[in-house]
Chain A
Amino acid sequence: MNIALIMLAAAAAVAIPALATAWAQSKIGAAVAAMLAEKPELTATAVLLVAIPETMIILGFVVAVLIILRTGS
């Protein structure tokens, strides 16, 4: 049971930031598409803008790894 809860916590640590990242990227993606329609030369900046919210999922991933490792699962 304990292991199941730990795994659930680790999964939540990844899943919730993943959803948040997806939501943020959807908003940024739409704005960036509009920006590119007017200024195609900003493609590289656009790719970076879309990549920025990925920090959340990266941190979620780190937390998940820590949860698993610290509990010895």
Chain B
Amino acid sequence: MIVPMSRVRVLGPRDRLDATLSLLQDEGRVQLARPMQDGRVSKLAADPRAGRRRHQLQGVLNDVDEALSLIGHPAARAASGSAARTTASLACGARVARRTVREARTLVARLRDLTEERQLITRYRDFFTEILPAIHALSTSPRLTAQVAVVPAASRSLVDQLREALRREFGAEFSMMVHGLDNGDLALLLVLPKPFSERLEARLRESRVPQVPLPAAYAELPLEQAVPRMIARLQAIPGDMEACRLRLSVLASDRGEDLRATERAARDWLSAADAHDLCGVTAHTFALEGWLPAHYLPPLQQRVAREVGPEVVVEEVARESWSAADAPVVLSNPRLFRPFEQLTSFMPLPSYGTIDPTPFVAVFFPMFFGVMLGDVGYGLVLGAVSGLVWRRSRPGSVARNIAAIGMPCAFFAIIFGVLYGEYFGDLGRTLFGFRAIWIDREDAIVASLTAALGLGVMHVTLGLVLGAISAFHSARRRAVGRAVSAVMVLVVVAALLAAFHVLPRQLFTPSVIALLICFPIVVAAEGLLGTIELFQAMGNVLSYARIMAIGTASVVLAVVANRMVGAVGSTVIGLLFALLFHLVNFGIGIFSPVVHALRLHYVEFFGQFYSPGGRRYEPFARWRADQGIPPHHGSVA
């Protein structure tokens, strides 16, 4: 449900403004808003020192964010209470942040260089090892020199031509050793008389054959010195990298908490500065306005009176003075339904004063999932997986919510599995003689389709009724139109069933008469658009046929998986194939019902009543590093 909100006004002497703001920030429940227009109240004059300080603190925050990111310090879970840092300690924190950023940048750059150096040497290590004896031999020859080059894989065919051309140009003393690299490139060792060295470089440039890129530290050395050093260096690089990582982790453990405290203090100060901007003042008083969940108002009034003084008053603004469109939206649902807020959060927030669809999603989403999957075996596996995820996840995390949604889905899958008589497809029937209690989905396609459309009628009608309730206060005519549309959907279904002799034939004529009466009412209430929406609602009902289609596909795939055991020559191989097929079907069986159950809710069901456009609840509060947002963001327990 959407929590009722109160618009509150806080009034008091100007000298109590800072104390009041500090208390409101500690309380963390009031979302501040600009005070309503009143000629007697003006904006608080901007303080130029505050502007400079804001600029400085933004810089500090940039340093802190970069430092924390570089040293990899995790957000502390319980770090909600802000350290009340003084100006001096904040300045000290800023210095620590600057120092840490400088050191961490150096360490990270060093790590990057070491990684690149290791990759480069590793790439050519085998080549260097192979040419090492030749390089040593060259060091004793005063006439010869060597160069190393690399031919890209795409130009491998050029190597022979290059060898011939260079031999013709440099004579019999020229030689070339070729080594294939892992990526298909060819590394070349070119030995030739020293006087031809520059000409060789020119020829290689003309042939677009680059030299082997040696790490910067060895680029200027002769090959006979560079190669042995690089091979030896490869052994030392991991140690250097480990030392860098160790230093970063020492920085994280030594300065991480200090940086987090600085971050909290800076963000709290900036948040309080924003709150000052929203404050209205007269010569001697201040006025703050904001929103908070209505049930928090009495405790807030008591706390302000107790801690700031009775001269500061918190009063509720009359409901007639504010518009629902301005109020932020806070969702509050029972514990069992709360994980399903994760599913409704994919949509924009509902407008204040309308209906929160979470409870309906919590009931119908697992039910539709169960109707589609409908298999005891798959349901048990899903339940076990959800239980495992539940145990391994921490409270409030997305994984915990997914597990909490998965368990009722598994429950419904088991229930409908029993009704359909499905235990890993037809395995239960084959091995133990289990039979369908309600519908055998393999054969009874019509019954299955009727059940799916019946669910659609019920769901869409409920949506229309909710639409009528939602519009009751704001648009009475629309509410009437929605209610009559809901009746018409039911009457159309009754007429169809009577026409096909499912219901007594005598019901057909009264149903048609009822439709003829309802139709002009819908046109009068909602205009021609109402009739279009009515036909759309009928089409929406047909969309629920997907429940049957996906269910049938799921059971047929499971049956095919079971047939694998007998279809392949070897029982063991057949069993493996069957298991693999069941695994694939389980994956499809989870994904498809989730997507389609969500779609049925978002498009077919929400379309009848959902009114998006609610503003997020973002109370004025202390910074919390673990969420990156203030507490009570958007929902309350």
Please list the residues of chain A having a beta carbon within 8 angstroms of any beta carbon in chain B: 44-45, 47-48, 51-52, 54-55, 58-59, 61-62, 65, 69
Q: Which residue of the partner chain, among B446, B549, B598, contacts A48 with CB atoms under 8 Å? A: B598
Beta-carbon contact of A51 and B449 below 8 Å: no
Q: Contacts A51-B599, A58-B549, A62-B449 known; A44 to B346 CB distance under 8 Å?
A: yes
Q: Contacts A62-B542, A65-B445 known; A47 to B595 CB distance under 8 Å?
A: yes
Beta-carbon contact of A52 and B603 below 8 Å: yes
A-B contact pairs, 29 of them (CB 8 A): A44-B346, A44-B598, A45-B346, A47-B595, A48-B599, A48-B603, A51-B595, A51-B596, A51-B599, A52-B599, A52-B603, A54-B546, A54-B596, A55-B543, A58-B543, A58-B545, A58-B546, A59-B542, A59-B543, A59-B545, A61-B549, A62-B449, A62-B545, A62-B549, A65-B445, A65-B446, A65-B449, A69-B445, A69-B446
A48 CB to closest chain B CB (Å) equals 6
B607 CB to closest chain A CB (Å) equals 12
B591 CB to closest chain A CB (Å) equals 9
**Chain A residues near B549 (CB-CB < 8 A):** 58, 61-62
Give the nearest-CB partner of A42 in chain B.
B346
Give the nearest-CB partner of B545 in chain A.
A62
| Residues from 516 to 567 in B contacting A, C-beta threshold 8 Å | 542-543, 545-546, 549
Answer whether residue B170 sits at the interface, using C-beta atoms and an 8 A cutoff: no
B50 CB to closest chain A CB (Å) equals 34
Answer whether residue B602 sits at the interface, using C-beta atoms and an 8 A cutoff: yes
**Chain B residues near A55 (CB-CB < 8 A):** 543, 546
Residues of B in contact with A, size category: 10 to 19
Give the nearest-CB partner of A59 in chain B.
B542
CA distance A58 to B542 in the complex (A): 9
**Chain A residues near B599 (CB-CB < 8 A):** 48, 51-52
CA distance A22 to B542 in the complex (A): 20
Give the nearest-CB partner of B591 in chain A.
A47
CA distance A47 to B549 in the complex (A): 19
**Chain A residues near B449 (CB-CB < 8 A):** 62, 65
Q: Which residue of the partner chain, among B545, B596, B598, B602, contacts A61 with CB atoms under 8 Å? A: B545
Give the nearest-CB partner of A44 in chain B.
B346
CA distance A33 to B543 in the complex (A): 26
Residue interface bits B474-491, CB-to-A below 8 A is 1, else 0: 000000000000000000
Beta-carbon contact of A48 and B543 below 8 Å: no
**Chain B residues near A54 (CB-CB < 8 A):** 546, 596
A12 CB to closest chain B CB (Å) equals 17
**Chain A residues near B445 (CB-CB < 8 A):** 65, 69
A65 CB to closest chain B CB (Å) equals 6
**Chain A residues near B545 (CB-CB < 8 A):** 58-59, 61-62
Give the nearest-CB partner of A49 in chain B.
B599
Residue interface bits B599-617, CB-to-A below 8 A is 1, else 0: 1001100000000000000
**Chain A residues near B602 (CB-CB < 8 A):** 48
CA distance A48 to B542 in the complex (A): 18
B41 CB to closest chain A CB (Å) equals 39
CA distance A60 to B596 in the complex (A): 17
CA distance A61 to B545 in the complex (A): 9
**Chain A residues near B546 (CB-CB < 8 A):** 54-55, 58
A59 CB to closest chain B CB (Å) equals 6
Told that A47-B595, A51-B599, A59-B545 touch, could you supply 14 new A-B pairs with CB distance under 8 A? A44-B346, A48-B595, A48-B598, A48-B603, A52-B599, A58-B543, A58-B545, A58-B546, A59-B542, A59-B543, A62-B449, A62-B549, A65-B445, A69-B446
CA distance A59 to B540 in the complex (A): 11
**Chain A residues near B598 (CB-CB < 8 A):** 44, 48
Give the nearest-CB partner of B595 in chain A.
A51
| Residues from 421 to 448 in B contacting A, C-beta threshold 8 Å | 445-446
CA distance A55 to B595 in the complex (A): 13
CA distance A61 to B543 in the complex (A): 11
CA distance A55 to B445 in the complex (A): 19
CA distance A52 to B600 in the complex (A): 10
Give the nearest-CB partner of B599 in chain A.
A51
CA distance A58 to B599 in the complex (A): 13
| Residues from 586 to 637 in B contacting A, C-beta threshold 8 Å | 595-596, 598-599, 602-603
CA distance A52 to B545 in the complex (A): 14
**Chain A residues near B542 (CB-CB < 8 A):** 59, 62
A66 CB to closest chain B CB (Å) equals 9
CA distance A65 to B453 in the complex (A): 14
Give the nearest-CB partner of A68 in chain B.
B445
**Chain B residues near A69 (CB-CB < 8 A):** 445-446
A55 CB to closest chain B CB (Å) equals 5
CA distance A48 to B598 in the complex (A): 8
Give the nearest-CB partner of B601 in chain A.
A48
CA distance A54 to B549 in the complex (A): 11
Q: Top 3 closest A-B pairs, CB basis?
A: A58-B546, A44-B346, A62-B545
CA distance A45 to B347 in the complex (A): 8
A29 CB to closest chain B CB (Å) equals 14
A25 CB to closest chain B CB (Å) equals 13
CA distance A54 to B445 in the complex (A): 20
B69 CB to closest chain A CB (Å) equals 19
CA distance A69 to B346 in the complex (A): 39
